[in-house]
Structure 1
């Protein structure tokens, strides 16, 4: 029986189009101070958004007027999602090869609902994987143990048949503790070489 690949998104399959953060030019482009964005949105609101306790749009409607009064939530989301959407073609090619050899591939990621849909529909990743398992839908996130247990229930596969590839060492450690195989991703690797190690 083939293992099931649980593939992280950001930092593995998808990257920012700009060096560093997608928000590198946000002050110049939208008039939003990135430090205030980090403090008032990501530090205060994002922890609840990422696990589905709060919806993204209402939170932005509350936050954005203090950050940049003329920027609508839709404009901010379009800016963010479009600049954080460069697919790694080599990784995607390996995904295709693995699937053609009978490996089920799931995106396994900390995301809120709108970007999860953007990844699968607008970016078209839904055509290349079995599905997406993400934090806002589960109500828990990596590296928490309930995330891994819920993800395994979703695939229906045994814990030790899951193989996480993730750029976070913390997530890799947590996955192993949950009974999964897990590999820390760096840009000089390939998914095919990782699967070769599994024998």
Structure 2
């Protein structure tokens, strides 16, 4: 199981996709945050509302010259920075018969974009995401739902994420998990996790 934002997709700018939003589209990132993301994102990310359904009326009020479709396309394209080094490390693992899945907090349109247009479907066997599941990391039900849908028991899953809270939550659900920051190889993290699991085994347990 592999996280997306901060792991498979790593933006070169600290401010992410909206770094040059005001320059390029005339829209203030802070205004977008307060008018759209703060009130609407919780419902969108959990699949309770559609992205365009909530974004269009907000833009009609604060930037009527800007179409929701144009902003969404800009957003997704500016965020499309794949970590090809990680994908290269994952390829031989998958070639060896290990199933690879994305386990990510996304809404429906972005999940479809990264899967189809960024062609992550060529590198992974499936995607499990928040809007489809109705739960987001680090909630325990996210990990339980992913495990159930994947058909693998928690003990069979190894997971990488760039947030420690998500790693710890996954471990509480019985997953083997490691923090990914791009400084260590995937092989070393997997080896360390395997050693940790062996050391946790106690005689007579």
| Equivalence for 1:124 | 119
1:16 aligns with 2:11: yes
CA radius of gyration, larger in: 2
Higher relative contact order structure (alpha carbons within 8 Å, sequence separation ≥ 6): 1
* Rounded Cα–Cα distance in structure 1 between residues aligned with 2:67 and 2:85: 35
Q: Displacement, 1:63?
A: 1.1
Residue 55 of structure 1, aligned match among 38, 50, 62: 50
RMSD in angstroms over aligned alpha carbons? 1.2
Q: Displacement, 1:196?
A: 2.3
* Rounded Cα–Cα distance in structure 1 between residues aligned with 2:40 and 2:100: 31
TM-score (normalised: structure 2):
0.91
SS at match of 1:22: helix
> Aligned pairs, how many?
194
Q: Larger strand proportion, structure 1 or 2?
A: 1
Q: After TM superposition, where is structure 1 displaced by more than 6 Å over at least 4 residues in a row?
A: none
Q: Which runs of 5+ in 2 are unaligned?
A: 196-205
Judge which range, 187-196 or 168-177, deviates more.
187-196
Q: Larger helix proportion, structure 1 or 2?
A: 2
Task: Note the 1:68-107 alignment, pairs <5 A.
Answer: 68-107=63-102
Q: Which runs of 5+ in 1 are unaligned?
A: 1-5
